[in-house]
Structure formats: C-alpha cells, structure tokens
Amino acid sequence: MNVFNSVINSLLSAYSAMVSWAPAAAGFAVIAALTGVVMLLVFRKLSDQERIGAAKRKVQAHLLELRIFRDEPAVMWRAQGALMKHNLRYLGLMLQPALVLALPITLLLVHLDAFYGRAPLEIGQPAIVTLAMKRPLDPAAPAPQLIAPAGVAVETPAVRALDLREVSWRIRPLRRVSGKLQFIVNGRTVVKDIEAGPGARFVPGRRVSSAFEGLWHPDEPLIAAPGIEWIDIRHPDSSMRLFGVGMDWTVWFIVLAMIAGLLLKKPLRVTF
C-alpha cells in the first residue's frame, strides 16, 4: 500500500511541481480536462461502442415514434415499452465501463484531495491535532508528548479523551512551515507532516495505520508503531475558485472533466 500510494503521490507531486509557475486553478483545470480525456479513451476501449450506438439509435427511434403516433394509443404503449427496454439496455452497456472507471477515479480524487481539498493551516490561527489509540488510554500513565517544529507553538498540554481513546493538542503556526510533528508514544516516535502558511500545495490528511484505511488516506506512509490508530490535523477546507465562482473542488473537477469529454467526444469518435 505504501509503495502504491507513494508512486501516485510522486506522480501528482511531479505534475504539481511542473505547473507550479501557473496559477493553481490552471494546473487544476488541466488535470481535470486530462482526466476527462483519459476517461473518454478508456471508456471507448472498455465499452461496446457499436452496441451502445445501436441502443441509442433505438431509443431515438422510439422517441420519434412517440411524437409521430400521438393519436394511436396501441402504438404509443408499444413504443413506451420498447423505449424502456432499450434505455435499460443502454444503461447496462454503460454500466460495465463506468464500474471499471469508478475505482481509479475515486483513488485519483482521494489523492488529489491533498492538493486541492485541504488548505495549509493559517498563520496565527489555532488548529487541533489528534492522535487516536487502538486500545483504551491508561489515565495513570504519562500522556503522549508532542514536539512541534520551529514556527509552530503547542498551546495546550495533551488532553486525553479517555472515552474516545484520543489525545489532542492545540497548536498555532507562527510562520510558514513545511515540517513534521513528532509524537512520543510509549517511548516510540511517530511523525506527521504539517503544512502552514500561504500558497496551495500538497497538504497531507490523516495518517493511518491500517492498509484498508490507507486506501482512503494515502498521503503519508502507514503508521508502523504499534498501538496508534491514526493521527490527524484539522485543516481548513479549501474551495476552488474558477470563473469567479468558488465551489468544492470535486464539483469543479467533475464539471471540467465532463466538458472536456463532451468536447472531444466526436473528434475521438466515442459514443455514449
């Protein structure tokens, strides 16, 4: 899992570095459009284009039938039934490539969230860091320790939520920081990346220990130290502003990918 995540992250980081000279929205628009094109090509490869075309033609024919034979109830009923049948066939033909595409697209979105979904911590603003344990915390045992990099103040002692098996701290970045928080738990040190200050960049989310969770939280290697379930920093959400409209980045991503797909559908001879 670590290798897989690392490869994807490296590729995306390389892309991000490549387009870093341009506004973040431009790099985002290009990757969304590219994703749309790749989806289109994969869809063409995986789908039965001829049968999709035939199903579409049948649907159109029956729609025409409905308009022409408006005064003949028997024909209308038959056309309704046929329309439904060919619609279902069309959807069935679309389903297979859509299902195949769903997994890589979801994984891509999960990885891109670190670039576009989270903003670095704001300088001067407090943020909460939480470490979750796998087993109940012993109130008599010393609390885990947090050591922050220079430029990040730790404002509270460790606060143990025994009921949740979680330990939290309040931190406050004092300047731009790209560094690591160090946690000392039962004598072992675990780290978590921290990003603060202006500028869009790779902002890792939760760091987890289980391989399955690693699929959805792929930004940092899995935690190897025993006993720790995850470590999280509450980052501000980031919204993507394009054409003067700010929205969740995933909405813009889907819109741009669809526009690219629709525009290139004919030149690439893809039917859907």
Residues 95-134 that bind other proteins (CB under 8 A): 126, 128, 130
Structure tokens at 214: 């690693």
Q: Report which DSSP code applies to 156.
A: S
Residue 139 near other proteins by CB under 8 A:
yes
Q: How far is CA 114 from CA 28, 53, 123, 128, 161, in A?
A: 13, 39, 19, 18, 28
Residues 155-174 that bind other proteins (CB under 8 A): 155-164, 166, 168-170
Q: Which stretch binds other proteins (CB under 8 A): 107-115, 151-159, 173-181, 250-258?
A: 151-159
Q: Which stretch binds other proteins (CB under 8 A): 24-32, 81-89, 101-109, 150-158?
A: 150-158
Least distance from other proteins to the Cβ atom of residue 130, Å: 8
Q: Report which DSSP code applies to 107.
A: H
Secondary structure of residue 59 in the 3-state scheme: helix
Sole binder of other proteins in the list 186, 234, 251, 268 (CB under 8 A):
234
CA 7 to mean position of chain CA atoms: 16
Contact of 233 with 194, CB cutoff 8 Å: yes
Least distance from other proteins to the Cβ atom of residue 2, Å: 29
CB atoms within 10 A of CB 35: 21
Residue 187 near other proteins by CB under 8 A:
no
Q: Interface with other proteins by CB under 8 A: which residues?
A: 126, 128, 130, 139, 143, 155-164, 166, 168-170, 234
